[in-house]
């Protein structure tokens, strides 16, 4: 039986029990595509050849599933529906491991190459196929090669109209062929004529007045590991999650080599053996979850956002 509570007893222990601050969970994201589908190869490998080339995507995905399971982390997998149609079992393996299924479009055409109608079709088709195969609803999208630029920002309206709740394509950096210059660095709500969309930009670092890409991919393999670590640490200091990305082919040093110009070769094949050890270090250092999990947490906390606030996450829609 509990001892009776007395005023004296209460006064004697004036401790205030505060729950510790919840540590930030960052976003681990994977763009699921074959090694030959990257934009840098489009002049060298035609779409008509794709079906004749050996598939390697399953190796990288399964290795990622193992690494995530080892660290108890969850991720968002942005998947090409081209892959889902040919390997539905792989999509189900990802979903059954508790990860989020999201769209990377149909066949890796950049948004800058598409008309609004063709983009709408790609969004609808990929959503339908991925939902059909996985049995889960698809609410997130990442454009191939981060190709939603300021010139094609009509794409944000089309995304909203097609039933997507969030996007992770607006990389606020200046790069050749992609980049959403002047975009916000932290998660925010995009207000458009068609409605609102939550945006989760890939992680960046600020260097003087310049914003530099640090979210993953080639930057993760070629530049010092500390770049991505700083980007995530800085995001934590601002109280927001950072978004990291990687491709299955980046964990596959044995992939067959495609004959491409030297610079492309270096960018695509350089540092492939570094990916797995660096991922182990990253997963051992930070907490990660899927973007859908962050949205669900925001929903529970009723965090309301508005355009222009860098920490905002939308809710209640
Ligand atoms: Zn891609």
Which of 154, 231, 232, 236 is closest to 197 using CA atoms? 154
Query: 139 C-alpha to center of ligand 1: Å?
Result: 18
Predicted pLDDT at 230 = 97
Query: 19 C-alpha to center of ligand 1: Å?
Result: 41
Query: 145 C-alpha to center of ligand 1: Å?
Result: 5
Question: CA-CA distance, 192 to 144, in Å (whole number)?
Answer: 22
Strand partners of residue 34: none
Question: CA-CA distance, 290 to 28, in Å (whole number)?
Answer: 6
Q: Report pLDDT digits (tens) over 130-166.
A: 999 999 999 999 999 999 999 999 999 999 999 999 9
Which of 121, 107, 110, 102 is closest to 34 using CA atoms? 107
User: Pairing mode, if any, of strands 25-32 and 243-246?
Assistant: parallel
Which of 210, 295, 248, 301 is closest to 57 using CA atoms? 248
User: What is 10-67 written as a DSSP string?
Assistant: HHH------PPPPPPEEEEEEEE--GGGSGGGTTTS-GGGGGGSPP-HHHHHHHHHHH
SS3 (DSSP) at 74: coil
Predicted pLDDT at 39 = 86
pTM (predicted TM-score): 0.89
Query: 193 C-alpha to center of ligand 1: Å?
Result: 28
Question: CA-CA distance, 141 to 286, in Å (whole number)?
Answer: 24
* Residue 31 CB contacts under 8 Å (≥ 6 apart), including other chains: 78, 104, 142, 245, 246, 247
Predicted pLDDT at 20 = 56
Spacing of C-alpha 27 from chain mean position: 7
**C-alpha separations of 286 from 1, 25, 68, 195, 204 in Å:** 43, 7, 12, 34, 16
Query: 35 C-alpha to center of ligand 1: Å?
Result: 10
* Residue 316 CB contacts under 8 Å (≥ 6 apart), including other chains: 299, 302, 304
* Residue 183 CB contacts under 8 Å (≥ 6 apart), including other chains: 170, 171, 172, 199, 201
- Each as own residue / partner, the long-range contacts of residues 84-87 (CB below 8 Å, 24 or more positions apart, any chain) are 84/126, 84/129, 84/130, 84/133, 85/129, 86/55, 87/55, 87/57, 87/58
Tell me the two tokens of residue 252.
């596959």
Query: 33 C-alpha to center of ligand 1: Å?
Result: 6
User: Pairing mode, if any, of strands 204-207 and 210-213?
Assistant: antiparallel
Query: 256 C-alpha to center of ligand 1: Å?
Result: 18
Tens-digit pLDDT string for the chain (317 aa):
444 333 333 333 444 455 556 689 999 999 999 999 988 888 889 999 999 999 999 999 999 999 999 999 999 999 999 999 999 999 999 999 999 999 999 999 999 999 999 999 999 999 999 999 999 999 999 999 999 999 999 999 999 999 999 999 999 998 877 889 889 999 999 999 999 999 999 999 999 989 999 999 999 999 999 999 999 999 999 999 999 999 999 999 999 998 999 999 988 899 999 999 999 999 999 999 999 999 998 876 644 344 434 344 544 33
Predicted pLDDT at 99 = 98
Q: Show the DSSP H helices in 97-211 as ranges.
A: 116-134, 154-161
Question: CA-CA distance, 86 to 93, in Å (whole number)?
Answer: 14
Handedness of CA 174, 100, 235, 216 (dihedral sign): negative
Predicted pLDDT at 306 = 42
**C-alpha separations of 133 from 81, 88, 185 in Å:** 10, 6, 33
Predicted pLDDT at 301 = 67
């Amino acid at each position: 039986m509990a001892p009776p509570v007395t005023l004296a007893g209460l006064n004697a222990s004036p401790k205030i029990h505060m729950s510790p601050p919840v540590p930030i969970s960052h976003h681990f994201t994977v763009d699921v595509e074959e090694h030959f589908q990257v934009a840098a190869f489009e002049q060298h490998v035609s779409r008509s050849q794709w079906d004749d080339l050996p598939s390697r995507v399953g190796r990288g995905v399964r290795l990622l599933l193992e690494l995530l399971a080892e660290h108890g982390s969850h991720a968002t997998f942005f998947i090409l529906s081209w892959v889902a149609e040919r390997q539905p079992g792989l999509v189900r393996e990802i979903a059954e491991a508790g990860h989020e299924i999201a769209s990377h479009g149909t066949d890796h055409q950049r948004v800058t190459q598409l008309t609004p109608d063709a983009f709408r079709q790609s969004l609808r088709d990929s959503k339908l196929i991925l939902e059909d195969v996985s049995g889960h609803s698809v609410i997130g999208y990442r454009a191939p090669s981060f190709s939603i630029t300021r010139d094609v920002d009509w794409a944000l309206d089309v995304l909203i109209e097609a039933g997507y709740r969030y996007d992770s394509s607006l990389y606020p950096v200046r790069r050749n062929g992609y980049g959403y210059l002047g975009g916000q660095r932290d998660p925010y709500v995009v207000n458009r004529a068609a409605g609102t969309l939550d945006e989760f930009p890939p992680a960046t670092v600020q260097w003087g007045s310049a914003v530099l890409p640090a979210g993953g991919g080639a930057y993760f393999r070629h530049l010092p590991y500390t770049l991505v670590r700083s980007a995530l640490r800085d995001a934590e200091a601002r109280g927001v999650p950072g978004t990291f990305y990687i491709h299955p082919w980046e964990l596959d040093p044995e992939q067959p080599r495609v004959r491409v110009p030297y610079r492309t070769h270096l960018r695509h094949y350089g540092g492939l053996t570094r990916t797995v050890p660096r991922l182990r270090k990253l997963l051992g250092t930070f907490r990660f979850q899927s973007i859908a999990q962050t949205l669900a947490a925001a929903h529970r906390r009723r965090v309301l956002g508005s355009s222009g606030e860098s920490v905002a996450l939308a809710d209640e829609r």
